Amino acid sequence: MGVDFAAQAQSKDIHKTPRPSRPNYNKLHAQPLPVKAYPLPPLIPHNPLSLLHIAFTYLSHIVFPPSSHPRPLLRAYFSADTHSVHVTDESTARILWEQGFFGKGSLSRSEPAWLEREKIRQGLVLGDTSEELTRKRREERKQFKNERARKEREAIEDKLAEEATVGPQGKDDGNREGDAKTPAATEIYQPSDTEAIGNQISSEYTPLLGSGEQANSASSDLASDGPSLQDPAKVIVNQEHLQLTLEEALFLVYALGVLEIQDPSNSQQITTSHLFSLCRSHSHFPPQPTSSLAPDDPFLLSYVVYHHFRSLGWVVRPGIKFAVDYLLYNRGPVFSHAEFAVIVLPAYNDAHWASTAELQTIVQTKAKKSWWWLHCVNRVQAQVKKSLVLVYVEVPAPGSGDGRGVGGVLKRYRVRELMVKRWTPNRNRD
């Protein structure tokens, strides 16, 4: 008897769930930073006209220099309540996210996508956002685990019921000819307290939506309750803004020069030096005055590391999810997972910190980390397949260089990187 493989393939295609189309991330995130570069054309040795092209481009850039920064500059305002910088303009938020992955949505996990989710929820737009796809995958994984637990529980119950019908001699009393099943044989199995507790616990993990007609009816009820797609005139006000960390805001203002930050109280622009002092003050809680700030305040150490890796071309994102300070992405979180996890540590190697016994005690208290702490952090990074990088920031002596602007303060710091890998005896024998 022949097998109709074409019919089988067609039936599989019918039941296969179509994968939603993904946006073209290479086009959306073509620029790594919110600045434009104008490189010279390539030199072709066997084509003399390429020299003329290079000369013409170079002279045109000198006579009519193109602008690498957006005009007007991007705008945001400083929030002292949240110790961050808020971007309320939608176009500015899209530019900062698509060109460098700066900030996060105030109502989203990462990318500001609350407006798209709300349109989908109200039935104005078809499709799913990245957060909705992640939520659905987690629900499917949870239902799969619940179904697997239910089948394992049923297998154990069938095995116990089968063993309950076996006699004391190891023979099946119910299958012998001429022998009637005695009441004693049917009452041999009595579930213990442990099994009763296990059945009670496992019953709590049954699938929530059920199966078959119940699931279909529930999904149809949810679909019927939502609004139809025949209301295009409805306008939804975007209630989400982009939230920048203090390190990201200073990098956009000082290093790139593409952002203007305003004071919400008087709508005046905050200068770079004043923003630098505000960030240092608000890195403590409650905020401390500028006169009492030390050269090892949390913002200075974290910004030095942030500026260091951003200058090397990495996409730096907060790493609180994995118990670290930063995560380093090669191109961005939409392309691949983070390769490295960074922890910022102060290093007090300057002679000033060993000048007195009091300073030595303070330094030992700040720089001391236990072996158990390092083992726990390294274990977490090994489970998520990331390499742990310990970044030591050389803390200079206080007082010198404070009056030479932001650049004069930052150039006094040095960064040392140390990669730590988890050693396992069965894999690292050599």
Q: pLDDT category, 291, cuts 50, 70, 90?
A: confident
Do strands 387-394 and 340-347 pair parallel, antiparallel, or not at all (unpaired)?
parallel
CB 114 within 8 A of CB 239: yes
Please tell me the predicted confidence (pLDDT) of residue 182: 42
> Within 80-190, where are the H helices?
90-98, 114-121, 130-164, 183-186
Nearest residue to 388 via CA among 349, 347, 344, 426: 344
Coil, strand or helix at 25: helix
**Least confidently predicted of 122-126, 202-206, 363-367:** 202-206
Q: pLDDT category, 234, cuts 50, 70, 90?
A: confident
Tens digits of per-residue pLDDT, 74-114? 999 999 999 999 999 999 999 999 999 999 999 998 999 89
Nearest residue to 74 via CA among 302, 206, 225, 248: 248
CB 87 within 8 A of CB 93: yes
The DSSP secondary structure of 359-424, one letter per residue, reads HHHHHHHHH---HHHHHHHHHHHHHTT-EEEEEEEE---SSTTTTSHHHHHHTT-EEEEEEE----
Do strands 259-262 and 74-79 pair parallel, antiparallel, or not at all (unpaired)?
parallel
Q: pLDDT category, 197, cuts 50, 70, 90?
A: very low
- Asked whether the predicted pLDDT for residue 180 surpasses 70, the reply is no
Tens digits of per-residue pLDDT, 26-84? 999 999 999 998 989 999 989 989 999 999 999 999 999 998 998 889 999 999 999 99
Please tell me the predicted confidence (pLDDT) of residue 188: 44
